Amino acid sequence: MAKKHSNKLDFDTGWHYDPAPESPELAKLKDSYDLFIDGKFVKPTSGKYFDTTSPSSQKTLAKVAEADKRDVAKAVTAARKAYEGTWSRIRPSERGKYLFRIARVIQERSRELAVTESLDGGKPIRESRDIDLPLVAAHFFYHAGWADKLSYAFPGRKVGPVGVAGQIIPWNFPLLMAAWKIAPALATGNTVVIKPAETTPLTSLKLAEILQEVDLPPGVVNILTGAGSTGECIVRHPDVDKIAFTGSTEVGKLIRKTLAGTDKRLTLELGGKAANIVFEDAALDQAVEGIVNGIFFNQGHVCCAGSRLLVQESISEKIVRKLKDRMETLVVGDPLDKNTDIGAINSKEQLKKIQGYLKVGQREGAEIFQTSCPLPKRGNWCPPTLFLNASQSHRISQEEIFGPVLAIQTFRTVDEAIEKANNTPFGLSGGVWTDKGAKAFHVSERIKAGVVWTNTFNKFDPASPFGGYKESGFGREGGRHGLEAYLNISETGGNR
Amino acid sequence: MSLSGTLANTPPIDSVGVAERVARFSTRSIKKTSKMEALKLALSMIDLTTLEGKDTEDKVRRLCYKARHLHVDLPDLPTVAAVCVYPTMVKVAREELNDCGVKVAAVATSFPSGQDDLSLRIRQTKGAVRHGAQEIDMVISRGRFLAGDYQYVTDEIVAVKEACGEAHLKVILETGELYTLENVRKASDIAIHAGADFIKTSTGKVQPAATMEVTLVMLEAIRDHFQETGKIVGMKPAGGISNSKIAIRYLVMLRETLGNRWLTPKLFRFGASSLANDLLMQIVKQSSGVYQSSNYFSID
């Protein structure tokens, strides 16, 4: 049946979904937020504040304090005092209790937090409600359980905390990244100075309120808002024992250079350009769903996004057709609408970067496809985009775009697929789609990446370690492996 | 009709992936006008069904009256799509419905088990059509299918289709007896290939009856067939779709899988008996703002 028909499905006319928005009032925002140092909200030394705006409505949501070197010094002093005085000394089971309390209050306030996340960052409420917030609570619950069982995680060895951890997190999963950083640090007995991203500070500040609500001892967690320069002050501060950074490879390299010659410990979780490999024997319709989830989840602002699609030649036409049809049903728009699949691009700056790559891809000769979904007039939007016939040497296949843009290439043999998948400076994640178990194991063992998903994509669990190979960084977060980054582990104590 | 090639194109099905997709449909929030439209659309897609040993002509007459007069007070209501009965009741249903637009569908081919000589099953089909059935809901031989005799299943559908003449043929796969989604897909491909106008999940006599997972796999088979050959086949989930909320989820699934062309009773039906009253109750609630007692909705 190789006959050609022009049988297009119609997703355009007729029955549509009316808007079903969550109310922005649910976020319960204050007009202005101060720095959270030593258990209290304090004004920034410089007196400077900056606006945080909604990437969809463009409205200013709140004023947020900007921390400078002096505020960082105060925060580190508070963290050191809390470390020496209470947190490294109290019973580990007490640390666990605090973490359990944090997790429970996060669950209680999850709707407020989800709405805040979508307002401030632009991600669809469906994701902040169904994915981010449940995972945030899960990370605190999981690490609460570890607090008094650390010696079982590393049998025969002696473990102790590192000290004061400086943590810098990105804007793509603001509260989730805070949880990934804070929960293991606290469970292992460290104290924290953390800086959320400039464009998405609000959920971290709400987390500060929660830390007050659960009576966490002052200074154990200090939350400083600001831009890159605030982060730099944390990295350079001499009394910080460990830096944990999630963000761009560019900044990661800079941090590593800065720390060279110091005894600060470092973990980096950086960019990615993951290949999603679809074999001809895959469950095709489910693979299409995985491709969509891999690249359009969170507007493609995902370091482990499946931003390259490698599809076997014999099914490429079919997969692309199915993919285009599926994309036509994706709703782009108001992040607070429960039916929105793809929200707003996080910032004007990021939108400009993505639009730059859209031009680059076309100039390089790849064929562009974008869906016909109408975009709102105000705000930062990018329709879901495919680049067909991309080649390995195109910049759109090599560089991290961090937007809803998928570069599609074909392959013929298993070896070719593996070679192309690994031919990148990154190594954060990968995907393999096949109905054959042996093939799935063969390929996933050979993909040089921290996580390889088989017949699924973008699945996260606090028990599963996450991290990169090559320029995607080093160190692991989550699971038993993730604890290591926050522990001094010595071989000497071992006669248990 | 030869089967060669048909099953070669049958893709593997990943049941975990199917369940995730279904969960995603269920998060769509359908409100206001779009809800009202969906409720009316669902109402127009119902095959009002009575398939019991204790059915009488009187009961069928009452069902037909209900099919034509869903609610006394509500304006702009559609009628249901069809009334679905046993072959013995076709004549009386046809008399009652006259030519009001509501079709008469008959289950045939030794419904629900299909365990009889093919010649008798064909005779039953022809009889139902002669008595005025405009649609025939046949069952496939699940035993033969599970034993791997796909050619037999193909041939029986071809034969029944021929016996139907002008009547539309719905092929019931009885997915509750097929065990896996891959079997559902395979049976869908066979039925479509053999000439089904509709494919239908269940008889309603076997549990589980229609599920969203099974229906999604069947819709995907219809889509693939449409895009490869241009032929348009309809879909009928039957059994277990008892309220408006579930029905709307099916419509969301239909819209996002096959698009708007399929959002019509010509190509999509609900095989259900109690769904109609729940839809009516919701329609009243949407227009008046309050729920009425179920006593206000006749139970025919």
pLDDT digits (tens, 9 = 90+) for A108-150: 999 999 999 999 999 999 999 999 999 999 999 999 999 999 9
Contact residues on chain B for A339, CB-CB shorter than 8 A: 28-29
CB contact under 8 A, B28 and A15: no
What distance in Å separates residue B261's CA from the closest CA in chain A? Answer: 6
- How many angstroms away from the CA of A1 is the closest CA of chain B? 7
* CB A465, CB A449: distance < 8 Å: no
Query: B286 — phi, psi (to 5°)?
Result: -60, -35
Q: What is the pLDDT of residues A254-273, one digit of tens each?
A: 999 999 999 999 999 999 99
Active site residues of B: 137, 200, 236
The residue among B29, B185, B251 with the most chain A CBs within 10 A of its CB, best to mutate, is B29
The Cα A143–Cα B299 span in angstroms is 56
Proportion of chain A above pLDDT 90, given as a percent: 96
Give dist(CA A75, CA A194) in Å, integer.
Answer: 9
- Residue A3 pLDDT: 45
Residue whose C-alpha is closest to residue A279's, from A227, A326, A316: A316
For A367-391, what is the mean pLDDT? 96
CA nearest neighbour of B237 among B225, B250, B227, B249? B250
In chain A, the percentage of residues whose pLDDT exceeds 70 is 98
Query: What stretches in chain B show pLDDT beneath 50?
Result: none
At the fourth CATH level, the homologous superfamily of domain A275-461 is Aldehyde Dehydrogenase; Chain A, domain 2 (3.40.309.10)
Domain A24-270+471-490 sits in CATH at 3.40.605.10
Average of per-residue pLDDT across A413-435: 98
In eight-state DSSP terms, residue B147 is T
Q: Are the beta carbons of B260 and A289 separated by less than 8 Å? A: no
pLDDT score at A2: 43
How far are the Cα atoms of B77, B135, B156, B256 from residue B219, in angstroms, in the given order?
A: 27, 20, 22, 10
Which tokens go with B82? 């069809």
Residues of A with CB under 8 A from a CB of B: 1, 3, 5, 7, 9-20, 126, 130, 281-287, 289-290, 321, 325, 329, 338-339, 435, 455-456
Size of interface A-B (CB pairs under 8 A): 98
- Quick one: residue A299, left, alpha or beta (phi over 0 = left, psi -120 to 50 = alpha)? left
- pLDDT on residue A147: 97
Q: Taking a C-beta distance cutoff of 8 angstroms, is the pair B122, B159 a contact?
A: yes
Mean pLDDT of A43-70: 98
Say if CB A301 and CB A86 are below 8 A apart: no
pLDDT at A495 over 50: no
Paired sense of beta strands A49-53 and A473-474, if any: unpaired
Beta bridge partners of B84: B49, B105
Please give, rounded to a whole number of angstroms, the shortest distance from the CA of B229 to a CA of chain A. Answer: 7
Distance from the A282 Cα atom to the nearest Cα atom in chain B, whole angstroms: 7
Query: What average pLDDT does the segment A214-222 reach?
Result: 98
pLDDT value at position A1? 40
Superfamily of domain B7-296, CATH level 4: Aldolase class I (3.20.20.70)
Residue B9 has a pLDDT of 80
Judging contacts by C-beta atoms under 8 Å, the chain B residues touching residue A290 are 17
Task: Closest CB to B34: pick one of A18, A126, A325.
Answer: A18
Nearest residue in A to B232, CA atom: A7
* pLDDT tens string A462-473: 999 999 999 999
Mean pLDDT value across residues A66-77: 98
Burial class (CB in 10 A: 0-12, 13-18, 19+), B177: middle
- Are the CB atoms for A411 and A312 separated by under 8 Å? yes
Asked if the Cβ–Cβ distance from A14 to B227 is below 8 Å, we say: no
Give the pair of three-digit tokens for residue A113: 């937090």
Residues 3-42 of B with CB under 8 A from A: 5, 9, 11-14, 16-18, 20-21, 27-35, 37-38, 41
Q: What is the pLDDT of residue A70?
A: 98
SS3 state at B86: coil
pLDDT given at position B8: 77
Q: How far is A450 from chain B (nearest CA, A)?
A: 23
pLDDT band for A204, please (50, 70, 90 cuts). very high
Which residues of chain B does A320 touch, with a Cβ-Cβ cutoff of 8 Å? Answer: none
Residues of B in contact with A16 (CB under 8 A): 34
Determine the pLDDT at residue A6. Answer: 61
| B residues 139..168 contacting A (CB < 8 A) | none
Q: Do B35 and A285 count as a contact with CB atoms less than 8 A apart?
A: no
**Which has more pLDDT, A3 or A308?**
A308
Q: Residue A482, Cα to own-chain centre: how many angstroms?
A: 16
How confident is the prediction for chain A on average, in pLDDT?
96
Tens digit of pLDDT for each residue in A5-52? Answer: 568 899 987 899 999 999 999 999 999 999 999 999 999 999 999 999
The region of weakest confidence among A73-87, A153-167, A480-494 is A480-494
Q: Taking every pair of C-alpha atoms in chain A, what is the biggest distance, in angstroms?
A: 77
Residues 6+ apart with CB under 8 A from B95: none
* Contact at CB, A15 and B38, closer than 8 angstroms: yes
A435 interaction partners in chain B (CB closer than 8 Å): 12, 14
Q: Which two tokens stand for residue B160?
A: 């029944």
User: CA B65 from chain center: how many Å?
Assistant: 21
For chain B, list the strands marked E by DSSP.
46-49, 82-85, 103-107, 135-139, 168-172, 198-200, 234-236, 270-272
Looking at residue A496, what is its pLDDT? 34
The string of pLDDT tens digits covering residues A437-470 is 999 999 999 999 999 999 999 999 999 999 999 9
* Whole-number CA gyration radius for chain B: 19
Non-local (6+) Cβ contacts of A404 within 8 A are A295, A296, A299, A300, A342, A354, A382, A383, A384, A385
C-beta of residue B11 within 8 angstroms of C-beta of residue A284: yes
Could you give the residue numbers annotated as active site of A? 269, 303
Q: A21 - beta bridge partners?
A: A337
Query: Is B223 at the interface with chain A, CB within 8 A?
Result: yes
Encoding tokens for residue B111?
């419904």
User: What is the distance in angstroms between the Cα of A279 and the nearest Cα belonging to chain B?
Assistant: 12
Task: Assign 3-class secondary structure to chain A.
Answer: CCCCCCCCCCCCCCCCCCCCECCHHHHCCCCEECEEECCEEECCCCCCEEEEECCCCCCEEEEEECCCHHHHHHHHHHHHHHHHHHHCCCCHHHHHHHHHHHHHHHHHCHHHHHHHHHHHHCCCHHHHHHHHHHHHHHHHHHHHHHCCCHHHHCCCCEEEECCEEEEECCCCCHHHHHHHHHHHHHHCCCEEEEECCCCCCHHHHHHHHHHHHCCCCCCCEEECCCCHHHHHHHHHCCCCCEEEEECCHHHHHHHHHHHCCCCCEEEEECCCCCEEEECCCCCHHHHHHHHHHHHHHHHHCCCCCCCEEEEEHHHHHHHHHHHHHHHHCCCECCCCECCCCECCCCCHHHHHHHHHHHHHHHHHCCEEEECCCCCCCCCCCCCCEEEECCCCCCHHHHCCCCCCEEEEEEECCHHHHHHHHHCCCCCCEEEEECCCHHHHHHHHHHCCCCEEEECCCCCCCCCCCECCCHHHEECCECHHHHHHCCEEEECCCCCC
Q: Give A235-240's long-range contacts (Cβ < 8 A, gap of 24+).
A: A235/A166, A235/A168, A235/A259, A237/A72, A237/A73, A237/A76, A237/A166, A239/A76, A239/A77, A239/A80, A239/A164, A240/A76, A240/A164, A240/A165, A240/A166, A240/A193, A240/A264
Residues A394-415, mean pLDDT to the nearest whole number? 98
Q: What is the mean pLDDT of residues A289-309?
A: 98
Q: What is the pLDDT of residue B273?
A: 84
β-bridge pairing A405-411 and A385-388? parallel
